[in-house]
Amino acid sequence: SRLMKDGTGEGYTRDDHSDLSNQLFASYSEVAGARSLATVIGEDELSATDKLYLKFG
């Protein structure tokens, strides 16, 4: 958003702030997908990656 863009960058946050923020939001989206899949097939049947997303979220 405009407010976030104006509040980040040199003098405000680390250089990698927006990249890290984007990756975190993407990971939380993956958590939601893994949770949904787990309700259908069960946690035991999830891939190793999906299990890590569940642990993260």
Nearest CA among 48, 49, 50 for reference residue 40: 50
Indicate the pTM of the whole model. Answer: 0.76
Q: What is the pLDDT of residue 3?
A: 67
Range of the domain at 15: 2-56
Q: pLDDT band for position 18 (50/70/90)?
A: confident
Written as one letter, the residue type at 27 is: S
Q: How far apart are CA 49 and CA 30, in angstroms?
A: 10
- pLDDT at residue 4 tops 80: no
9 pLDDT tier (thresholds 50, 70, 90): confident
Q: State residue 28 phi and psi, 5-degree precision.
A: -65, -30
Domain count, the chain: 1
CA–CA dist 42, 6 (Å, integer): 43
CB-based contacts of 18: which residues, under 8 Å, 6+ apart? 8
Flag whether pLDDT at 6 surpasses 90. Answer: no
